Structure 1
Amino acid sequence: MADQDDQPSSDRWTISATRTIFTNPVVNLVTSRVRCGRTAIEKDFYKFQFPRWVNIIALTGRQELILIRQYRFGTDRIELEIPGGAVNDGEDPLAAGLRELLEETGYAGQNGRIIGKVCPNPAIQNNFCYTVLVEDVRQVAEPSQDDMEDIEVLILPQDEVQKLVVDGSISHGLVLNALMFFAMDKAKNRFGRP
């Protein structure tokens, strides 16, 4: 898994002696010797290499949002989220968003576009997460979930989703970030500015 959306690092930092410590289909863990140009001190740094991710804001013709509930091993609980998943190698993030929406929910729509991009944790991760907005979604197929997915699809009014954010029912940081991008996109379209 290569670094995503590489930008040159500062010439004040030197990276050497990189090696992979652990690898599996979900994540690689690498370590590198890093030298700070300001202090000349060297230390080992660790980085989790993930594929790019995508989250989907799916909006029905009635302006309702598609949410999902699914078990998450990290928190050992059922989480309320929006559809999302990994971007395959060589896949465009927009295409990945449309694919994940269809796979997880059976929904498809129109006017798909990327409305945001973030680095989930730049201190220790290399990847980016994209937010895709898809409008006028409707169910066109049955979901085709992975063998370890058990997803419940929900359709909720936007004001109810806002309440779920405020009361903590939606606590996934990247989902909250996607909802922020959606709110900013709505404001921009309504008022012509963010």
Structure 2
Amino acid sequence: MNLEEKQISSNTLFEGSFLNIHQDQILLPNGNQTQRVVVRHSGATCVLAVTDDERVVLVRQWRYAAGRALLEVPAGKLDAGEDPAECALRELAEETPYVAERVEYILKFYTAPGFCDEVIHLYRAVNIRPNSTLSPDQDEFVETVLLNREQARAAVENGEICDGKTLIALQYWFNE
């Protein structure tokens, strides 16, 4: 069965610093036309970093759209042309006191494919140590939180951790 929808035209509704919103006229597989509103995003990375004593490195930060502080794996937006692995290393060092020798690719996923093209690349940090000299962006206020597996599971169960990328990263860690 052919499921492909083809773009006929596109109108930019909004251009922002990290996303653009388009309204596209599309051709459906049955020949009919309709419109789709699409949020275009450059993509991001997130990092599963675990200390030698088996505690996951998380950051607590205020998320304005959610109206609350969330507990998340370190993550951030890809700069234009940036390698996702380099972004993962940078975000870990900017948002936490930790640096990694390297990162290993785990998987990539869409955050909200019904209306957004953002893809997040998940990496695992290898050989982390608290030695970062970088700082968060000027508009970022973060607190580093270390949790063992039991504490992380409890934080998921009680709703303290409810962010999609973090749930995916922790599920990977829980199943190791």
TM range (shorter): over 0.9
Moved over 4 A (4+): none
Which segment is superposed worse, 21-30 or 152-161?
Answer: 152-161
Shift, 1:11, TM fit:
7.7
State whether residues 115 and 182 of structure 1, in contact with CA within 8 Å, keep that contact through their aligned partners in structure 2.
no
Q: Which residue does 2:6 correspond to in 1?
A: 14
The counterpart of 2:52, out of the listed 61, 71, 77, is: 61
Q: Which residue does 2:40 correspond to in 1?
A: 49
The counterpart of 1:105, out of the listed 96, 111, 114, is: 96
The counterpart of 1:32, out of the listed 16, 24, 28, is: 24
Distance 1:12 1:64, change over 3 A: closer
State whether residues 131 and 181 of structure 1, in contact with CA within 8 Å, keep that contact through their aligned partners in structure 2.
no
Q: Which residue does 1:120 correspond to in 2?
A: 111
Shift, 1:143, TM fit:
4.6
Shift, 1:98, TM fit:
0.5
The counterpart of 1:172, out of the listed 154, 159, 163, is: 163
Are 1:70 and 2:61 counterparts? yes
Once the two structures are superposed, residues 137-164 of structure 1 have per-residue CA deviations (whole angstroms, 9 ceiling, x without a partner) of 1111345011111111112212211111
Q: Provide the secondary structure at the position in 2 that maps to 1:59.
A: coil
Shift, 1:63, TM fit:
1.6
Q: Provide the secondary structure at the position in 1 that maps to 2:151.
A: helix
Which segment is superposed worse, 161-170 or 102-111?
Answer: 102-111
Alpha-carbon RMSD across the aligned residues, in angstroms, is: 1.6
Q: TM-score, length-normalised on structure 1?
A: 0.84
What amino acid is the match of 1:158?
A: R
State whether residues 71 and 161 of structure 2, in contact with CA within 8 Å, keep that contact through their aligned partners in structure 1.
yes
